[in-house]
Amino acid sequence: IANRLVKDAHSIHGTNPQNLVEKLIQTRIYESNYWKDECFGLTADLVVDKAMKLRFLCNSLYEMIW
């Protein structure tokens, strides 16, 4: 998934799915080294595979979620 959504993507609640995340959080994600090195250009299927390989997940305050 690149920083832009494909034009024929399904909308969620009538909006672009990327707009469901606050702009500040979205910008921080796109500017992170992890996104640039590991996630930029992934397809939806590959994003799921990448997510399954994650060992840790933190929120925006860097608290461990699992």
| Model pLDDT for residues 27-65, shown as the tens digit of each residue | 888 888 888 998 888 888 898 888 888 877 766 665 655
Q: Is the pTM for the entire model greater than 0.85?
A: no
pLDDT of residue 6: 61
| Model pLDDT for residues 1-20, shown as the tens digit of each residue | 455 656 666 777 777 777 77
pLDDT of residue 1: 47
Q: Which amino acid is at 37?
A: D
Segments making up each domain of the chain, as ranges: 1-66
Q: Do 21 and 13 touch, CB atoms closer than 8 A?
A: no
